[in-house]
Amino acid sequence: MQRIAKIIRVAAMTAAAVLAASSVSSVASAQDAKATYEQSQVDAGFKVFKGSDCAGCHGWAGNGQKIGENPDGPSLRSIDMDDAVLKETILCGRPGTNMPSHDPKAYTDDRCYGMDAAAAEGMTPHKGKPMTSDQADDLVAYIQTELVGKSDKPTLEECQKYYGKKPVCNAYK
């Protein structure tokens, strides 16, 4: 019972965060914001994506085609998230789901959705590879620029960018 109450509370808080973030960005659309990322930051974010096991659950192309025996992660190509919400999702994970947190200090204080360890009890996300706030910013830049809005069917070029010119990419020819 208590657990259910907590989950409802998290859902409400997440919705509030999404609303707050979307009202800020209502003037400039996410599309406009994309133009402001430096290519060097996007490239740095690609390295963070590759180094953080996102591909296991979300697919190397971020299209929701998981690799091997991992939990199913949704496509990151069809998300419509404000940068701040996206960053918090990455650093804090999603309580009560298989989306891990990447901030090593997540849930040690109230930085994640205002929840400390006691509030998150029973639904604390698993810990993913540790990531700094700057790395999370880079990753956001990569996701918003190179994944969001792209087709869930990856191209040969995208495959070779991830894997190099390997036979595994022949499937996308």
Q: Distance (Å, rounded) from C-alpha 120 to C-alpha 40?
A: 36
Determine if 86 is a binding residue for ligand HEC (CB under 6 A). yes
Nearer of residues 71 and 104 to ligand HEC, judged by Cβ: 71
SS3 for the chain is CHHHHHHHHHHHHHHHHHHHHHHHCCCCCHHHHHCCCCHHHHHHHHHHHHHCCHHHHHCCCCCCCCCCCCCCCCCCCCCCCCHHHHHHHHHHCCCCCCCCECCCCCCCCCCECCECHHHHCCCCCCECCCCCHHHHHHHHHHHHHHHCCCCCCCCHHHHHHHHCCCHHHHHHC
> Which span sits near ligand HEC by CB under 6 A: 24-32, 53-61, 110-118, 164-172?
53-61
- Compute the least distance from the CB of residue 173 to ligand HEC, in Å: 27
- Compute the least distance from the CB of residue 116 to ligand HEC, in Å: 21
3 CB burial (10 A radius; 0-12, 13-18, 19+): exposed
> Which span sits near ligand HEC by CB under 6 A: 17-25, 55-63, 147-155, 160-168?
55-63
Nearer of residues 58 and 150 to ligand HEC, judged by Cβ: 58
Q: Select the residue whose beta carbon is closest to ligand HEC and give its number.
A: 54
Q: What six digits make up the tokens of 158?
A: 């995208």
- Compute the least distance from the CB of residue 12 to ligand HEC, in Å: 14
Residue 124-153 contact track with ligand HEC, rule CB under 6 A, x = bound: ----x----------x--------------
- Compute the least distance from the CB of residue 167 to ligand HEC, in Å: 25
Binding residues for ligand HEC (CB under 6 A) = 52-54, 56-58, 70-71, 73-74, 76, 79, 86, 89-90, 94, 97-100, 102, 128, 139
